[in-house]
Amino acid sequence: MPLPSAADLDLRWVHRSAADPTPLPAAVRALTLPAGRGHAFVHGEADEIRDIRRHLLTDRGLERAQMSCSPYWRRTMTDEAWRQVKREYVAAMDADLP
């Protein structure tokens, strides 16, 4: 699917399958990031976002101020159930980083 942009855009579509339902964290680890200071917009499924966020902060050296990060939903929960525990999940996500 084309996505026209006036920017210098390197777009990669990552598709889930039954064999690999969570390919996004591995795809992010495999990326070669451009030189210089950047910003990561990381929003999506809670467990994948947690993994990607940890990788970007601990392995890639990004600072929290260089990220917009939000676990929007959780595969194992309804939207209402997720809203009830999201605050605690985000607190635990913050606590598992050095």
pLDDT in tens, 54-98: 999 999 999 999 999 999 999 999 999 999 999 999 999 999 887
Q: Which of 2, 27, 1, 3 is nearest to 14 (CA)?
A: 27
What are the residue ranges spanned by the domains of the chain?
A: 38-95
Helix (H, G, I), strand (E, B) or coil at 46: helix
Is residue 22 within 8 Å of 16, Cβ to Cβ? Answer: yes
| Cα gap 89→87, rounded to integer Å | 5
pTM of the model: 0.88
> Is the predicted pLDDT of residue 17 greater than 80, yes or no?
yes
What is the 8-class DSSP label of residue 70? E
Place of tokens 């390197």: 10
